[in-house]
Structure 1
Amino acid sequence: MSDPWDGAGGRATRNRTRQVPGQRESEPDGARPTGGRAAARAASRARGGGRSRRRARPAGRGKRALKFLGIGMSLLVVVIAGAGWWFYEHLNGNINSVALDGRGGSEKADAFGRTPINILVLGSDGRTSAADCKLGGGCAKTGVQSGNGNADVEMVVHIAADRSNATVMSIPRDTMTDVPACTDPLSKASTSGYYGQINSALSYGPACQVATVHQLTGIPIDHFVQLDFSGVVKMSDAVGGVDVCVSDDVYDTYSHLKLSKGSHTLKGEAALQFVRSRHGFGDGSDLGRTVSQHIFLSSMIRKFKSAGTLTDPTAVYDLADAATKALTVDDGLDSVKKLISLAADVNKVPAKRMTFTTMQTAPDPNDSNRVVAGTGAKDLFSTIANDQALTTGSGKKSAAASATAEPTASAVPASRIAVTVGNGTTVPGRAADVATALTDQGVGSATVTHDAASSATTTLTYGTGQKAEAQTVAKVLGLPSSHLKQGTGTGLVLVIGADWPSGTNFPGGDSSPAPADVHAAVSNAHASTADEAKTCAKVSPYKTVDLNGVSMTPSQAYAAARSKPDSDA
C-alpha cells in the first residue's frame, strides 16, 4: 500500500534519511577534544562498544510546550481571579446600606466574650419601584412612590452568643406604641415623637424603626435587614421555590393568594402573596399572618441548609446575587464578607433549636382594631434580651413548643421567688432599697424584716430544695456564691451586711438580669421550631374576604372562583 504522504499527489515527500536533529557534523582533524569524556566516547564507538545510538529529543520542543502550558495556566489564574474579583465587587455593589448610629443599643458579651446577634428583619410595603407597584398595586393614582413606606413585617431575630439556638419574634404591625423623635437622614422626614402604630416608624427611616422596637422591647438591636415586595420574589426564586402547606382551600381576594388544600411549592409572585396574606389565615388579622410567615421562613431555612442548595455553585451565585439586590442593611452588614459571616452564624444553629414566636398582644383600649403588648410579652422580650434559649440543649420539644417543661435548676424564673430582706448594717433603709431593687428586676416579692441582727458579711440563706432560687437572686444582685448558705428553715432570707453599705449591686459583683419565666414567654406566642416540616397554615374559618360584594370565608371564595387559576398554576 502506498503511503499517502509520498508521490506527486501528496503534500510533500518525507525525507526518510533525515539527519537526527542536534547531531554533531564531522569536524576537521584536531577539532575534536583530545581528552575527557568526549574522547572516551569516541574511542568506545571506534571499538564498536558502548550503548547503541539513541535518537535525540527535538531540542526546545518540550521546553516550548511547558512554556505554553505555563502561560495558559497563568492566564487561567488571571481570568479566574478577575472573575472572582468582579463577582465580589458586583455583589458588594448590589448592597444598599444605612447607618443606625447606635439607635438600637448594643449587645453585652457573655462570660466567655461571645456576643449575641439581634437583627430586626423588616418587610416594607413601599411602592418605590415599577416592580413593587406591579406586585403590590395601589400606584394607579400615585405612581411610583418615594420614601420608606411602612413595615408590613417586623421580626426580631436573636442568635445566641454560643450560636446554639435562635429565637425569631414577630411583632404585629397593628401594635400601638411610643415612637421616639426621629429624622431620616435620606428623606429628611422628621418627627418629635408620637403614640401610634409601630409600623409607621419606618416612614422616618430604618434607624427610627429599630429605635422604636428597642424602646418597646428593651432588646438591644444592632442590625437590620429590609426587603421590599420584589425582594421576596427574588429570594424565593433563587432557592428554587419554598414548600408550604395550607389546611384547606384558600382564596384571599386581597393578597390574591389562591391555593388548594395541601402542599405547594411557591415561587415568585405566589410566594409574595402567601407572606402578605392576612385575610386568608388565622382570624383574618395580622396575627394570623405572622404564623403563616413563620411556616414560610422555616421552610426557606430548611432549604438553605439542604445540601442541594449550598453545594450547587449556580444556586449559591443566584442566591447571593438575589439577596444582595433584594436587601437594604445597616452599615454593620454592608459587605459580602459580613453577610457571609452572618449566614455562617445562622447556619450553626440547628433547625430544631430555632424557635418562632409572635409577641403576645391585647386589644388596644382606645381602638378595637389595634393591639398593645399583652401578658407574657415582657417575659418574651426578657428571654431574648437575656440570651435565654426557648429550647432544650437536646433540641427535643421543650417549653418553646409545649410550655410544659420545668425550668432547669440554674434558671428558676425570678417571678416565682419570694425573698425576706433584713438590714444587718447601721445604715437606715438598706433593706428597703435592696428589696425594691429585687422587685424591679422581676423578683416575685421582697419583704423587709425589722429584726435582723447586725452582721459583718452579707448572706443569702435558703431552705431545702431552694438552692436554684437562691442562685437566681444572687445573680440579680451580683452576689458571689460564697455568700450563699443552706439553712434549716424554709424560704430565702437575705441579710445585708457591713460589707455592702450602699447601692443595689454587691460591690465587685457581676449582677445581671434575672432569668425570665420561659412558660410565660411562650404562652400564647404561637411558638414553633424550624424543623416542623409538616405544619400547615390554618385557613381562616371566618368571613374575612369579599368576592363580588359578598362576604365569605377564604374556602368559600376558592369554590366560588373556580375560573381563576391557582397561584402556583
Structure 2
Amino acid sequence: MPAESTFELGAAGEPDIAGETGTRTSGPRRRAKGRRRKPRGKRGKALLITAWTAAGIVVLGGTGAGYLYFKLNGNIKSVDINNALGADRPLNVDNGSQDILVLGSDTRSGANEDLGGGSDDGTARSDTAMIVHVYQGHKKASVVSIPRDTLIERPSCTDAKGDTHDAASEVMFNSAYSTGGAACAVKTVESMTGIRMDHYIEVDFSGFQKLIDDLGGVDITTTEDISDPDSHLELKAGEHTLNGEQSLGLVRTRHGVGDGSDLGRIQLQQAFIKALVEQVKHIGVLTNPSKLIKIADSATKTVTTDSDLASVRNLASFASGLKGISSSKMSMVTMPVQYDSANINRVLVDEDKSQLVWKALKNDRAIPKAATEGTATGTAKGVVSSS
C-alpha cells in the first residue's frame, strides 16, 4: 500500500489540474469495532475493475459473455434523464471533459431497513451528492460535494414518471431527490451550476455495504477516536480495515467527530473515497475470477445510472476512461457555502465563490484556491486518511 498521507480536505484543487480544448469523448445493527489492519502480502495487478464511490462512484469492467453478461445487465437500474428533462438544459460544452452527478441514496424499505436513515415512510432520500468533473484526457478529476443542508431555489421539474413538481424557494438541497427523484436532482444541480451533467450514477447504501465486503474492506487511519451510536460506529484512533458496515457508518456519521455538521461528514466521505480508490488499485483479482464475478454482481446491483450507461458494455467503457485517475490526481472540495445565521443547521450558497468553481469546471480548469477561502467548513478535517 502507498505510504500514509493525510488528505487536506475542504481546500481548493491542485493548481496543476488543467484542462485543454478538444473534442468531447463521452463514454457510453450491530455496533462494530474496527479491526486492526492486517499486514498485506503482494498484490496482483487489478484486472477489468476500477471502482469509485461518494458517495461513491462505482464502475466496473466487463466479464464474460453469455448468461453472466445478461445477468449483470439485468442488475443495472436506469433512469432516462434526457427524456425527463428535455431540451431545457445547459449547453453541452464540447471541450473533452465530462461531468457526472453522483448521489448516495437510502430508504427504510427493503435491504436498507436495518441500516437506519432514509425516510420513515419508506421513500428514498439522498444525503450524499457530488459533482465529478473529469478533465480532458481523463487523467485528473475534481470532485465538488454539495451539502445536503444547503438552502436553495429548486426549479420546477418533471420526474421519470412524467409527474410535474412545482418550484420551491429556500428548501434543502436533498429535497430535490426526495421530491422528484433522479431527474429533479439533476435539473436542480444544472440550475445551480449552469453545467450540463453528462451522466448520473446513484449508489444504494445497502449495496455499498456489500460491495465493500466483497472488496475485502478498506484501509484507513483515524487520528482520533470516532464514536457514533446512531451510525453503529466505534473506532479507536489508529489503523483499521473497515468492513462494509463500518464503512457505511463512517460515510454517514455526523455526531462521531467534530461539530456534528453535514460539512464534517463530507470531509470524512472525501477521505474515504480517496482511500477506496487506492484500495481498488491494489486488489488482486487477476488469478481470482470468482472474486471478480462477485464484485461485478454486487456493483451492478448497487448502482442506478442514466440510460446511456445502463449496460455492462457501456458501463465498462465508461470505467475504462476513468481507471487512470489515482487519488493523488483527484481534487476534492465542498461547494462554497456560509452558515445560515437564522438556523445553525442550514448553510447558504456563497454565490460569488461558487461561481469561481462552476466557471473553472465549465472551462475545464483547476478550481482556484480563492473559491474556498473563507467559506464554511466542518471540523473533521484530517481525522481520516489512507493507510
What TM-score range do you get, normalising by the shorter chain?
0.7 to 0.9
The equivalent residue for 2:296 is: 320
Using the aligned pairs only, state the percent identity. 38
The equivalent residue for 2:143 is: 168
Shift of 1:309: 4.7
Shift of 1:190: 3.8
Are the counterparts in 1 of residues 272 and 384 from structure 2 also a CA contact under 8 Å?
A: no
The equivalent residue for 1:334 is: 310
2:384 to 507, 529, 537: 537
Partners of 2:128 and 2:118 lie apart in 1 by: 18
Shift of 1:364: 2.7
Shift of 1:265: 1.0
The equivalent residue for 2:182 is: 206
The equivalent residue for 1:84 is: 65
* Structure 2 residue identity aligned to 1:376: K
Q: Check 1:388–1:309 CA distance in 2 against 1; reply closer, same or farther (3 A cut).
A: farther
* Structure 1 residue identity aligned to 2:355: K
Shift of 1:239: 1.4
Shift of 1:314: 3.0
* Structure 2 residue identity aligned to 1:107: N
2:133 to 133, 158, 161: 158
Are the counterparts in 2 of residues 123 and 226 from structure 1 also a CA contact under 8 Å?
A: yes
Are the counterparts in 2 of residues 125 and 151 from structure 1 also a CA contact under 8 Å?
A: yes
Partners of 1:341 and 1:524 lie apart in 2 by: 40
Are the counterparts in 2 of residues 109 and 161 from structure 1 also a CA contact under 8 Å?
A: no
The equivalent residue for 2:354 is: 377
Shift of 1:521: 2.7
Please show how residues 56-205 of structure 1 align to structure 2 within 5 Å: 84-101=65-82, 103=85, 105=90, 107-110=92-95, 115-129=96-110, 131-136=111-116, 142=121, 145=122, 147=123, 149-186=124-161, 190-195=164-169, 196-203=171-178, 204-205=180-181
Aligned residues: 313
Shift of 1:306: 2.1
Please show how residues 253-272 of structure 1 align to structure 2 within 5 Å: 253-272=229-248
> Where in structure 1 do 4 or more consecutive aligned residues deviate above 4 Å?
309-312, 524-527
Shift of 1:125: 2.8
Shift of 1:310: 6.4
The equivalent residue for 1:306 is: 282
Q: Check 1:256–1:128 CA distance in 2 against 1; reply closer, same or farther (3 A cut).
A: same
Please show how residues 357-368 of structure 1 align to structure 2 within 5 Å: 357-368=333-344
Partners of 1:225 and 1:89 lie apart in 2 by: 20
Are the counterparts in 2 of residues 170 and 358 from structure 1 also a CA contact under 8 Å?
A: yes
Give the gaps of 5 or more residues in structure 1: 1-81, 391-517, 528-534, 539-569
Summarize deviations over 1:458-503 as a string: whole Å, max 9, x none. xxxxxxxxxxxxxxxxxxxxxxxxxxxxxxxxxxxxxxxxxxxxxx
Secondary structure in 2 matching 1:215: helix
Summarize deviations over 1:143-186 as a string: whole Å, max 9, x none. xx2x4x22110000111122121011100000011111123233
Partners of 1:328 and 1:305 lie apart in 2 by: 23
TM-score by length of structure 2 reads: 0.75
Partners of 1:218 and 1:329 lie apart in 2 by: 21
Secondary structure in 1 matching 2:65: helix
1:519 to 340, 355, 369: 369
Are the counterparts in 2 of residues 303 and 309 from structure 1 also a CA contact under 8 Å?
A: no
Are the counterparts in 2 of residues 165 and 389 from structure 1 also a CA contact under 8 Å?
A: no
Q: Check 1:310–1:287 CA distance in 2 against 1; reply closer, same or farther (3 A cut).
A: farther
Q: Check 1:373–1:137 CA distance in 2 against 1; reply closer, same or farther (3 A cut).
A: closer
Confirm or deny that 1:222 pairs with 2:198: yes
Partners of 1:138 and 1:371 lie apart in 2 by: 21
Partners of 1:271 and 1:250 lie apart in 2 by: 12
Partners of 1:216 and 1:206 lie apart in 2 by: 15
Q: Check 1:522–1:138 CA distance in 2 against 1; reply closer, same or farther (3 A cut).
A: closer
Partners of 2:319 and 2:218 lie apart in 1 by: 18
Are the counterparts in 1 of residues 224 and 383 from structure 2 also a CA contact under 8 Å?
A: no
Partners of 2:260 and 2:303 lie apart in 1 by: 28
Q: Check 1:83–1:352 CA distance in 2 against 1; reply closer, same or farther (3 A cut).
A: closer
Query: CA RMSD, aligned part only?
Result: 2.6
* Structure 2 residue identity aligned to 1:380: V
Secondary structure in 1 matching 2:133: strand
Partners of 1:310 and 1:348 lie apart in 2 by: 18
Secondary structure in 1 matching 2:339: strand
Are the counterparts in 2 of residues 174 and 370 from structure 1 also a CA contact under 8 Å?
A: yes
Are the counterparts in 1 of residues 154 and 188 from structure 2 also a CA contact under 8 Å?
A: yes
Shift of 1:127: 2.2
The equivalent residue for 1:351 is: 327
Q: Check 1:388–1:280 CA distance in 2 against 1; reply closer, same or farther (3 A cut).
A: same
Secondary structure in 1 matching 2:323: helix
Higher RCO, Cα 8 Å, sep 6+ = 2
Secondary structure in 2 matching 1:275: helix
Please show how residues 372-451 of structure 1 align to structure 2 within 5 Å: 372-374=348-350, 376-390=353-367
Shift of 1:389: 3.0
Larger radius of gyration: 1
Shift of 1:286: 0.4
Partners of 2:229 and 2:347 lie apart in 1 by: 24
Q: Check 1:92–1:284 CA distance in 2 against 1; reply closer, same or farther (3 A cut).
A: same
Secondary structure in 2 matching 1:254: helix
Shift of 1:237: 1.4
Are the counterparts in 1 of residues 337 and 376 from structure 2 also a CA contact under 8 Å?
A: no
Q: Check 1:183–1:267 CA distance in 2 against 1; reply closer, same or farther (3 A cut).
A: same
Shift of 1:136: 1.6
* Structure 2 residue identity aligned to 1:134: D
Partners of 2:100 and 2:118 lie apart in 1 by: 30
Partners of 2:215 and 2:341 lie apart in 1 by: 43
